Amino acid sequence: QSALTQPASVSGSPGQSITVSCTGTSSDVGGYNYVSWYQQHPGKAPKLMIYDVSNRPSGVSNRFSGSKSGNTASLTISGLQAEDEAHYYCCSYTSNSTLVVFGGGTKLTVL
Amino acid sequence: QVQLVESGGGLVKPGGSLRLSCAASGFTFSDYYMTWIRQAPGKGLEWVSYISASGATSYHADSVKGRFTISRDNAKNSLYLQMNSLRAEDTAVYYCAGEPKSIAVAFDIWGQGTMVTVSS
């Protein structure tokens, strides 16, 4: 069982918006603004999409945005495109001995 | 270009050892914290080990503590993971990933991964 809880799957039609949630505790998501999100296509390495809760690295589309409320972080993808279909993982610093925890991952299907 | 290339994976028997390597190029390796992250077949990402930019500080997941050791050689732009007492549950693709010192828990450089299979 992963330390951070994500829905197993979400779906949306092209052009729509979707949100992926990531729920932790006050020891990780709720306690620090060190939440990042990764996109992973099949057979590929993950790619950083969001860091520090809501910052986008250079080159990442502004259709991707992040936010946090309490112990839950969220990734929103607007204007869904076919190439957004992938797995998405949240990640957070934790004050526990593990240092870093990942969510179980969410499969996004673009209908 | 910015690149991480892992090597050293393979098939090993339970109880055996492997040493993974990760060669960095195209960026200032000594400016990056480095991490090993693994992904079991069909499963999610699991953080394994972290090492500071200087190599002075390291952390390991509870699942590998006492069995795995992370190290780096900044002169050779290389990261390593010594894996001992391997178990079937260590079977996974192992990625090395880098995070710049300026931001935390943001792995912005990834290797392509190397597969480790632990089986008799």
Give B88: exposed, middle or buried? Use CB within 10 Å, 0-12, 13-18, 19+: exposed
> Pick from B61, B106, B112: which is nearest to A98 by CB?
B61
Residue B104 has pLDDT above 90, yes or no: no
The pLDDT of residue A37 is 98
pLDDT in tens, A29-42: 999 999 999 999 99
- Which 72-111 residues of chain B touch chain A by CB within 8 A? 95, 97, 103-108, 110-111
A7: closest CA of chain B, how far (Å): 13
- Exposed, middle or buried, B109 (CB in 10 Å: 0-12/13-18/19+)? buried
pLDDT in tens, B53-96: 999 999 999 999 999 999 999 999 999 999 999 999 999 999 99
What would the two tokens of residue B38 be? Answer: 């693994």
Contact A51 B112 (CB under 8 A): no
